Structure 1
Amino acid sequence: MKLFQIHTEKQLISQCLKGNTNAQMTLYKKYAAAMYNVSRNIIKDDMRAEEAMQDAFLSAFDKLDEFKGEVTFGAWLKKIVINKSLDYLKKDKMYEKMASTDDLSIIEELEEFDITEQIEAIKKAMDLLPENYRVIFSLYYLEGYDYEEISEILEMSNTNSRVMLNRAKNKLITLLN
């Protein structure tokens, strides 16, 4: 039986700081699906994306006292998930793997597909992008970060992030044709 009901995210965070595991689970349930998608957009392996997302939550709960409320909790958590996902890429050296041209046969002309098939073709083509291109493409187009934010996250210059995004777009177009 619950003695009280937590109504706001601020209250949830306060309870998490006190070690309330029910509050942690509530926050986890609220954000898990969205944070998994963020991680999956960076790491194309479902299990590794799940692991990275789980590690990010553990890290967030460990560092919750560092959350100052300057941004929303979701935005703060998203940054942790992105960084943890990038760490997984680096650790696994997946960013060095290049997509095999043999895999291009799975993609047909988009004009023959309905919208669902077009989306699936784009997802498959994105999975064929080299990791560094897929990461920057996902951060910009799927997560909505601007060049400056991407530069900070990936620790590169603004110009380099623009160049890499342009190369990623061109590579994706090539894969789709």
Structure 2
Amino acid sequence: MKVAQLGNKAHIHKNIIEACKKGNESARYQLYQLYAKAMYNVSYRMMNNREEAEDMLQDAFTQAFMKLDSFRYDSSFGSWLKRIVVNTCINAMNKRKVELTYCEEVYSGNVFEEVEAEPRYTVQLVNRAMEQLPEGSRMVFSLYLMEGYDHGEIAQIMGITESTSKSQYMRAKRKVAELLKGFTED
């Protein structure tokens, strides 16, 4: 997305960002306060653990502040920072040598077909279901559904094939639907 397309979004908080670039600690704290909650949510969805999510958040902000001079307002600061958070989480997962469980069958159709048209799932239930997914599936599910990455981008980020990303997503989607159905029957 070009700066012209972004309009004022690319320049939101520009004064604070420029003050941060000059080493102003108060501005850094202010920028942290503006973005910490949203970036923590991204990190938590990927790491599935509060302590690890907090660690990833701190690492990501440390990296962002160190690389702030490279931020050129080509995108919004939030998008730039979210990419750092996602990459920080991916790198941490890779250090643990995440083994993806490959799905041999490709599911067709809508796996939520059995779900009634009336929404009956809360955010808490969906989060509870996501927490029970295997790590690799949860990351693909989160990146695709929650963060808006496409399968090509996910494949590149995670070092997997696009078809693996798609099958992991379908498997995660099926598992979440199954878990949600079980939660509502309890």
Normalising TM by the smaller chain, what interval? Answer: 0.7 to 0.9
In structure 2, list runs of 5 or more residues that go unmatched. 1-10, 102-114, 182-186
Mapped contact 2:12–2:76 kept (Cα < 8 A): no
Mapped contact 2:100–2:137 kept (Cα < 8 A): no
- Distance in 1 separating the partners of 2:100 and 2:124: 22
1:78 pairs, out of 82, 88, 94, with 82
Tell me whether 1:66 sits opposite 2:38 in the alignment: no
Residue in 2 that maps onto 1:40: 44
One-letter code aligned to 2:48: K
TM-score by length of 2: 0.74
CA deviations 1:90-131 (Å, max 9, x no partner) are 3345x4599xxxxxxxxxxx98xx94x643332222111100
Aligned length: 156
TM-aligned CA distance change 1:166 to 1:23, over 3 Å: same
Deviation at 1:71, TM superposition (A): 1.1
Higher helix share: 1
**Bigger mean CA deviation after superposition, 22-31 or 117-126:** 117-126
CA deviations 1:7-59 (Å, max 9, x no partner) are 95222221111111111111100000000000000011101101100110000
Mapped contact 1:55–1:84 kept (Cα < 8 A): yes
Residue in 2 that maps onto 1:159: 163
1:55 pairs, out of 59, 76, 79, with 59
TM-aligned CA distance change 1:11 to 1:76, over 3 Å: same
TM-aligned CA distance change 1:161 to 1:146, over 3 Å: same
Deviation at 1:162, TM superposition (A): 1.4
Deviation at 1:68, TM superposition (A): 1.9
1:20 pairs, out of 17, 24, 31, with 24
Question: What is the alpha-carbon root mean square deviation over aligned residues?
Answer: 2.4
CA deviations 1:138-173 (Å, max 9, x no partner) are 111111222222222223332222122112112223
One-letter code aligned to 1:77: L
TM-score by length of 1: 0.78
Identity %: 42
One-letter code aligned to 1:87: N
Higher relative contact order (CA 8 A, sep 6+): 2
Residue in 2 that maps onto 1:3: none
Mapped contact 1:96–1:130 kept (Cα < 8 A): no
- Distance in 1 separating the partners of 2:145 and 2:161: 19
